[in-house]
Amino acid sequence: MSSKEYPVREIRFIGLLANVDSSILKLNFQNNFKIESMEYKEAIDFFSNLFGLPDFEMSSILDRYACLSEPNTIYFVSNNFYNQYMSTDKSHSTIPQFENGLIREYLMPLIRLMRLFKDGNVMIPYNIYYFMDGQVPKLMVDWGKVLPSKKHVFTLNDDEVRNLKDFLQITKLPFNKPFLQLAFENFELSFETFHQPNIEFLLLMISLEVLFNPSDHQELSYRISRSVAVLLGQNESDSQKIYSSIRNLYDKRSNLVHNGISVITDTDITNLRHFVRESIKIIYKSGKDRENIMNVLNSSGFGSKPF
């Protein structure tokens, strides 16, 4: 049987970005990934045509997955790659290579580190692959992931753009210290709970305990609170405030776990996420193992900034 030659087909990728604003356009990605924007009406027209859905249904999908911070604009990551097949079925064989390679090995770690860099639930909850048949977009495959839990907008000023670039260069995933990686994984899971603030809170508390739980498991509330305060406090007064905040959060955690009573607020979750985020970054940058870190924190006073 003679083999049939198929023309080269350009496959296009779109990853919808959730919880971002126009400052995301200041970033430059590698590996041919581009950050682009599209006016909302233009996006509705394009995706309605691509999916074969009426405008009102497409509008609902975009609102749900993009978690729009700016009502007239959507933001997305784009890329393209080539494959020799014209047949849609056969060209699917190239998509897993792209997904398992550049998406999982480069793009997703990048997004994960952006959430670690600063507050904001930036994520890519929806992936779309399509090709152009003349002027008509033809859908190949798409899938939605976890819905954004809350509209925590990721925004960057000019200094943060420069600092983020440096942060991405020196921070590599997965972390080579298991305790740090476990804390980070729970930190990430806290973004993926949908309208479940108690679970969000508990996941962040687990992160904190993984980082600071003393080996003898004695005086947990006091020792964890003190360790966080020593690590993060900029001066003695700041450390004291952090200590009091963590003690309060730990009391709420105990009340929730042992009594089933929740008094968790959005502010509690925001503050706790900040403490976890900054702790992970400082511990990673120190390069020290957990035992060494705990010894230093136990022997240091409030405001000493040991790392």
Compute the 3-state secondary structure of the chain and give helix, strand, coil in percent, each to the nearest 5. 55, 15, 30
Which pLDDT value is given to residue 87?
53
- In the chain, pLDDT over 70 holds for what percent of residues? 92
Q: Where are the alpha helices (DSSP H) in the chain?
A: 40-51, 55-66, 88-91, 94-98, 108-117, 158-170, 178-189, 197-212, 220-232, 236-259, 266-286, 290-298
The model scores a pTM over 0.75:
yes
Query: In this predicted model, which residue has the larger pLDDT, 179 or 143?
Result: 179
pLDDT attached to residue 2: 40
Of residues 63 and 297, more confidence is placed in 297
- At position 190, the amino acid (one-letter code) is S
Q: Is the pLDDT of residue 63 over 90?
A: no
**Structural element, H or E, at residue 77:** strand 73-83
Residues, the chain: 307
Alpha-carbon Rg of the chain, whole angstroms?
23
Q: pLDDT for 193-230, tens place per residue? A: 877 899 999 999 999 999 999 877 778 899 999 999 99
- pLDDT-derived band of residue 179, with 50, 70 and 90 as boundaries? very high
Residue 134 gets the label, from left (phi > 0), alpha (psi -120 to 50) or beta, of: left
Extract the tokens encoding 191: 């973004």
Cα–Cα dist 169/222, whole Å: 36
Task: Please give the average per-residue pLDDT across 56-83, as a whole number.
Answer: 86
Residue with the larger pLDDT of the pair 83 and 251: 251
- Select the highest-mean-pLDDT range: 37-41, 144-148, 257-261: 37-41
Q: Which two tokens stand for residue 33?
A: 């990934």
Cβ-in-10-Å burial (0-12, 13-18, 19+) of 191 comes to buried
Whether omega before 174 lies within 30 degrees of 0, making that bond cis, reads: yes
Using 50, 70 and 90 to split pLDDT, how confident is the model at 1? very low
Both structure tokens of 132: 């152009």
> Mean pLDDT over all residues of the chain?
90
Beta bridge partners of 36: 76
- Number of other residues whose CB lies within 10 A of the CB of residue 250: 19
Residue 157's SS3 state is: coil
3-state secondary structure of 172: coil
Q: How far apart are CA 91 and CA 132, in angstroms?
A: 13
